[in-house]
Amino acid sequence: MTAARGTDGVLVDRYGRVARDLRVSLTDKCNLRCTYCMPAEGLPWLAGSQLLSDDEIVRLVRVAVRRLGITEVRFTGGEPLIRPGVVGIVAAVAGLEPRPRISLTTNGLGLDRLAPALRAAGLDRVNVSLDTLDAGRFARLTRRDRLADVLAGLAGAAAAGLTPVKINSVLMRGVNDDEAPALLRFALAHGYELRFIEQMPLDAQHGWDRAAMVTADEILVTLRTGFDLTPDPAVRGAAPAETWLVDGGPARVGVIGSVTRPFCGDCDRTRLTADGQVRACLFASEESDLRGALRAGADDDELARRWRAAMWGKRAGHGIDDPTFLQPARPMSAIGG
Ligand code: SF4
């Protein structure tokens, strides 16, 4: 649907794309140290005074849902489950009218313990990051020996009814790309929905190497050595993942080809960082400050107006293939998936 730039209603950009899916980063901190995301010592975390309070987050989500046409809310991080108020924030958002669909992207640590409370609070489903089934490799990739806790988190989410439980896997050449078939077999055996994601240039170290990235085409070739993949008849819409039925279905597998098969033309996402900045795109180099306006007493109309203005200027796409491409200063860990 296209919409004209207006002073009310939905978040539309100059290409006519309408944002319906709000990604909210609850913290920039994380309890893992994935090598493709941040250094072993972590990062200079956002100061507490910069972080939105639980009430401020709920207010901004309320503005987005009630005034800006947002129908999907995804909580991300860093690692959202380490935020003490996560269950309360989910409950408050689930109480909004109209009620948005609520999901959460997590590394799975602590999910087994929190899943029942999150479900009771109104969380609908989860995406869990898992790049390997080998405990030693997990410890090398994340610098923490916690594979068993992630697997317990997946099982806990399924048991609590946070379904479909989706798994996000990033494959890296010569690191874990040999595990694609095993990861799919694991997901099929447990009823999880697996999506492979091309590694994106969003790491804090700015060490992304396109040659080391495993492309969507390569992932499909590898999977087809062990599985019969047929196009999924389900309508994709603005969903990042292209999906295939596995061995005739109904199980499916997804591939998110952010770099080699960009889906920016149908993008329906807007992002709010843990320190109250609107990012029109994952790869945006500009941000719009809502925290300052909010703390200066802006009313909901003003917050909504600023959010619309921020989205109107959204670029056509990530521009990774553009010679002028510059990796955003803010790392993925402070943006969220
Ligand atoms: S890169 Fe930006 S425009 Fe493209 S799909 Fe992601 S958020 Fe949307």
Could you tell me how many residues make up the chain?
A: 337
Atom of ligand 1 at shortest distance to CA of 271?
Answer: 7
Atom of ligand 1 at shortest distance to CA of 266?
Answer: 5
Is the shortest distance between the CB of 264 and ligand 1 below 6 Å?
Answer: yes
Is the shortest distance between the CB of 283 and ligand 1 below 6 Å?
Answer: yes
The rounded distance, in Å, linking the Cα atoms of 211 and 197 is 15
DSSP secondary structure letter of residue 281: S
**Domain over 11-335 is classified CATH 3.20.20.70:** yes
Token pair listed for 235: 């309508």
User: What residue's CA is closest to ligand 1, atom 1?
Assistant: 318
Q: Which of 318, 325, 335 for mutating ligand 1's site (highest number of atoms within 8 Å of CB)?
A: 318
**Residue 7 confidence (pLDDT):** 52
The rounded distance, in Å, linking the Cα atoms of 160 and 168 is 19
Question: Which tens digit of pLDDT belongs to each residue from 147-190?
Answer: 999 999 999 999 999 999 999 999 999 999 999 999 999 999 99
User: What residue's CA is closest to ligand 1, atom 5?
Assistant: 264
**Residue 4 confidence (pLDDT):** 52
Q: What ranges in 122-203 are assigned the alpha helix state H? A: 135-142, 147-160, 180-190
Using an 8 Å Cβ cutoff, are 272 and 288 in contact? Answer: no
**Binding-site annotation: residue ranges for GTP:** 23, 74, 105, 166, 269-271
Integer Rg of the chain from CA:
19
Look at residue 27 and tell me whether its pLDDT is greater than 80.
Answer: yes
Look at residue 289 and tell me whether its pLDDT is greater than 90.
Answer: yes
Amino acid of residue 299: D
Token pair listed for 315: 């670029």
Average pLDDT over the chain reads 95
Q: What is the pTM of this model?
A: 0.95
Using an 8 Å Cβ cutoff, are 187 and 144 in contact? Answer: no
Distance 225 CA to ligand 1 centre (A): 31
Is the shortest distance between the CB of 259 and ligand 1 below 6 Å?
Answer: no
Is the shortest distance between the CB of 208 and ligand 1 below 6 Å?
Answer: no
Question: Which tens digit of pLDDT belongs to each residue from 214-269?
Answer: 999 999 999 999 999 999 998 888 899 999 999 999 999 999 999 999 999 999 99
Distance 72 CA to ligand 1 centre (A): 16
Using an 8 Å Cβ cutoff, are 324 and 283 in contact? Answer: no
Atom of ligand 1 at shortest distance to CA of 267?
Answer: 8
Using an 8 Å Cβ cutoff, are 109 and 81 in contact? Answer: yes
Question: Which tens digit of pLDDT belongs to each residue from 67-100?
Answer: 999 999 999 999 999 999 999 999 999 999 999 9
**Binding-site annotation: residue ranges for S-adenosyl-L-methionine:** 36, 78, 129, 200
Cα 178 versus chain centre, distance: 24
Is the shortest distance between the CB of 146 and ligand 1 below 6 Å?
Answer: no
Distance 219 CA to ligand 1 centre (A): 21
Residue 83, SS3 per DSSP? coil
